[in-house]
Amino acid sequence: MFTIQSRKYNSVRFQTEDEMGIIPFGARRRFARDRLVLAEDIVQLLADEGAEELPLRQRQLRALDQCIEKLPRERRELALAAYAKGTTIREIAVQLGRTEGSLYQLLARIRKELHRCMEQALAGAES
């Protein structure tokens, strides 16, 4: 078993030294497909941390939903369409008769607006 130091955890253990050794030229592709196997105690640490973060993530999702609902209808529909599976900015731009660049700029403004809204909502929830 091979151990490396980590800032977050005391150590991370890999099953073999080969997984962290120097990869010879041409072998990178083979190692890229290999699965990383973590020791059971590391898996448990990750699971525990995920469980601790779950309430925060749920509050964040509720705040995001509320903030999306506060957006003007056109902005809300654009944001939802832009992040829907199977749609591209190019397709949306053609439908709206706008340039892709203008949509990217508008989406950046919408993201900033949502970020500010979420910060306020989460700060209010903590008070």
The CATH number of whichever domain residue 99 belongs to comes to 1.10.10
DSSP element (H, E) containing 12? strand 12-14
On whether both 124 and 63 belong to a single domain, the answer is yes
Residue 2 within any structural domain of the chain: yes
Which tens digits make up the pLDDT trace of 56-113?
889 999 999 999 999 999 999 999 999 999 999 999 999 999 999 999 999 999 999 9
On whether both 79 and 107 belong to a single domain, the answer is yes
Q: Note the pLDDT of residue 107.
A: 96
* 19 contacts 2 by C-beta, under 8 angstroms: yes
Q: Which of 37-46, 51-60, 96-105, 111-120 is predicted least confidently?
A: 37-46
Ranges 4-8, 51-55, 56-60, 75-79, most confident? 75-79
Q: Note the pLDDT of residue 31.
A: 56
Residue 114 within any structural domain of the chain: yes
Nearest to 1 by CA among 10, 14, 18: 14
Query: How many structural domains does the chain have?
Result: 2
* Helices and strands (H, E) in the chain, number of each type: 5, 2
On whether both 19 and 78 belong to a single domain, the answer is no
Residue 50 within any structural domain of the chain: no
Residue 49 within any structural domain of the chain: no
Rounded to two decimals, the pTM is 0.60
Helix (H, G, I), strand (E, B) or coil at 13: strand
On whether both 31 and 65 belong to a single domain, the answer is no
Q: Note the pLDDT of residue 7.
A: 44
Residue 121 within any structural domain of the chain: yes
Q: Which domain holds residue 25?
A: 1-38
Nearest to 46 by CA among 12, 70, 75: 12
